[in-house]
Amino acid sequence: MKNGFIKVAALTPKVKVADPKYNKERIIELINMAAAEGAKVMVFPELCITGYSCGDLFYQELLLREAKEALLQIAAWSEKIDGIIFVGLPLEHNAKLYNVAAAICGGDILGLVPKTHIPNYNEFYEYRHFTAGNQQPVPVRLDDDHIVPMGTRILFGARQMPGLKIGVEICEDLWTPNPPGTEHAMAGATMIVNLSASDEVTGKDVYRKSLVSSQSARLVCGYVYASAGDGESTQDVVYSGHNLIAENGTILKESVRFINESIFSEIDLQRLQEERRRMTTYGVSDIPYMGAEFNIKEEYTGLTRFIDPSPFVPASAADREKRCEEIFMIQAMGLKKRLEHTNCKAAVVGISGGLDSTLALLVTAKAFDLLQKDHKEIIAVTMPGFGTTDRTYENAVSLIRSLGATFREVSIVDAVRVHFRDIGQDEQVHDVTYENGQARERTQILMDIANKMGGMVIGTGDMSELALGWATYNGDHMSMYGVNASVPKTLVRHLVRYYADTCGQEELSRVLRDVLDTPVSPELLPPTDGKISQKTEDIVGPYELHDFFLYYVLRLACTPKKIYRLAKIAFDGVYDAETIEKWLKTFYRRFFSQQFKRSCLPDGPKVGTVAVSPRGDLRMPSDAGSALWMEELEHLHEDEPADKDSGHVSSDAVSAGESETDRLVKEFSEDFDRLFKDFMK
């Protein structure tokens, strides 16, 4: 529960149709197993106490009475369990039958939520048995000791975790044009649980998964979907136990169908609340809801969900290629419009042989293709200085020639030496003045060439550098249009690699691959033995770490402690905790102190969900204090979990799974022996 995480479970017991006593035992077994795994929210399928497929047996008084008794016994058992449990059953009230979800916690039945939308088409005929549920809660007497509210407008909230409010949908509710979950979320629900008995037909699983994903995205919520499986009647249909856990559009966990697999994951409630705070269009409802509170223990939630170490880069090759193609076109279209609007005769790009300038030149060439302009009107300028190496110089020249741009070479050495003499800078002192003097000289050259050619300077700096302030103010920091301004360094690499893979030019592809293999460097210090001596990541830290930090700071507004925890999981085996802590502190220090550079950035296209433009995503004062964040960074190790977060199943859970298997095998053997003996008679 610390850091906003709460573990949830979607659980599918193997039921026997119309046997509440048997089903109660299976439900309790799964509750115990889920509790041992640390689950605080446990969701079972629709009508699981009786089985969904009872048909006209739902009319039987005996079945309804035993179902209610099973519910009361499960509730009594829950006194030993730390968590809230949702189970389904048929319930009679005022001579009408309702398909309800019962919320159970700490020995109590907190409330009953009836199904709103009753399907009566194709293979479904629920209206034959059930009545659509009431919205406003009404009291329902289960026995002398239990009078429980029943209605769809009930939200279940944890006293120890104010961000957790749970609304309930039941199966068909999700498949309708106006699911009740919409109203629940607008009333404050951050999690929707769905007790379902969705039968399986070809292709339905894809649609079901898209529904759960899109509902969680549209409502900015966690969504736990538990469906009926093996054990239900197969008279006309088959149930696959397709369980799903989603968060804000992302499927965190999906069960293997047809084996009654129980699944677990963790919902990040802090992330959901931050996203809702950010969205000014996220409506709030004034419809009155009843709040049903429950208690859970405050403790660390061990994380089993995947923490992506590269949040800006899609994992699959197909998605990555699509993302690169899309971003490349956004960059090129942005520049195309700016060139059209200003009637520029040329575009001027400084080419160093490094990643960023390479991408900027590729984007510029694409923009010229879209404008049907000759690449000769792209003025590509190399400006060798004190730190330029043969490798980067040769790559720059080859790149320019491969793209058919106009090559210009202007050495900055003599001009910088004159400048150093004028300001009294010792050339042997390799301080910040030594470095920045070269960067500003290069920018001056580009600006003046652009004036002379009637063109504009295309900026090359990327978002990761801007976040860290790794740019010389009024040097490489400045341009007339920054095509890379919202592209993180980790994604720059993939964009260049994508172009190398798809350009169809052998020589250009070779050059691009060598650029990818070259260490990132501003090349402002003299080389050592002809090789780059100044490696950026040795100075400011690995860009893959900084891009991870950047995403979680700006996109999800996480605290330093939470980012540190997530980074340790994401980069386990790559960076140790001390290294992550060191560069996280560097990130925060530089991020706050360098905002003044971002406050006057040139225009540039936004390509993703994170950007640092002062006119768009980051309205941050240049003199904002960082004391709160730096103070928390000094206390990163307080309240750390004693055990390491991992996706491994605990030994208790393994044992529970093995005993369950043994029990099922034993039951099958006993049933088979009985049937065989009956047959022989």
pLDDT tens across 548-585, in order?
999 999 999 999 999 999 999 999 999 999 999 999 99
Does the active-site annotation cover 46? yes
* pLDDT for residue 339 is more than 70: yes
Does the active-site annotation cover 14? no
- Residue 642 confidence (pLDDT): 52
- Residue 1 confidence (pLDDT): 66
pLDDT tens across 92-142, in order?
999 999 999 999 999 999 999 999 999 998 888 899 999 999 999 999 999
* pLDDT for residue 657 is more than 60: no
- Residue 641 confidence (pLDDT): 65
Q: Which is nearest to 193 in space by CA: 62, 80, 283, 85?
A: 85
Q: Does residue 673 or residue 204 have the better pLDDT?
A: 204
In this structure, of 92-106, 195-209, 339-353, 649-663, the range with the lowest mean pLDDT score is 649-663
CB-side exposure of 606: number of CA atoms within 13 Å?
Answer: 11
pLDDT tens across 605-651, in order?
999 999 999 998 999 999 999 999 999 999 998 877 654 554 433 33
Which position among 14, 37, 40, 46 bears the catalytic label?
46
* pLDDT for residue 530 is more than 90: no
3-state SS string for 294-352: ECCCCCCCCCCCCCCCCCCCCCCHHHHHHHHHHHHHHHHHHHHHHHHHHCCCEEEEECC
CB atoms within 10 A of CB 628: 10
* pLDDT for residue 533 is more than 90: no
- Residue 638 confidence (pLDDT): 82
Name the band, by pLDDT with cuts 50, 70 and 90, for residue 535.
confident
- Separation CA 214–CA 250 (nearest Å): 9
Which position among 54, 171, 324, 558 bears the catalytic label?
171
Beta-strand relationship, 161-170 and 108-114? unpaired
- Residue 653 confidence (pLDDT): 34
Average pLDDT, the chain: 93
What percentage of the chain carries pLDDT values higher than 90? 88
* pLDDT for residue 659 is more than 70: no
Does the active-site annotation cover 261? no
**Spatial contact of 149 and 168, defined as CB atoms under 8 Å apart:** no
- Residue 644 confidence (pLDDT): 53
Q: Does residue 196 or residue 657 have the better pLDDT?
A: 196
* pLDDT for residue 671 is more than 70: no
pLDDT tens across 343-383, in order?
999 999 999 999 999 999 999 999 999 999 999 999 999 99
What percentage of the chain carries pLDDT values higher than 70? 94
In this structure, of 389-403, 495-509, 514-528, the range with the lowest mean pLDDT score is 514-528
- Residue 647 confidence (pLDDT): 41
Which position among 115, 253, 336, 606 bears the catalytic label?
115
